[in-house]
Amino acid sequence: MNGFHPDKSDFSKAENIRKQYVEHKTTKLDRLQALDNKVKAPGRAVSVILGVLGALVMGAGMSNIMVWGNMTVGLALGIPGLIMALLAYPVYKGITAGRKKKYAQQIMLLSDEIIREDEAK
């Protein structure tokens, strides 16, 4: 006979594997989360890119000043880099605010449906 005796961890592993093969139906909550991500993702991507580029440019300016003693070029790079990095959050807020206006009606309708279904239970 087989000497294998499953324990609780074996059952949870089997359940996790099984979930990978079961067809997933999209729920209203999944659609709401996708809409929310659709609102926030573009602003997040642009602000991360702007912030990273700003930090790199500012770092290049700092290196020019500290390593090579070139104050003029260092400041010419460092100050715009700092401004770029500082603008990342306002850019995120601006893009996200515009997209919130665009998708607000869909999100509100879908969230109202979910809330009503929960209250009906």
Q: What is the mean pLDDT of residues 69-75?
A: 94
- 39-54, pLDDT tens digit by residue? 999 999 999 999 999 9
Give the percent of the chain with pLDDT over 90.
70
Give the percent of the chain with pLDDT over 70.
98
Using the predicted structure, report yes or no on whether residue 2 has a pLDDT greater than 90. Answer: no
Whether pTM exceeds 0.85 = no
Structure token digits, residue 111: 């969230």
- 104-116, pLDDT tens digit by residue? 999 999 999 989 9
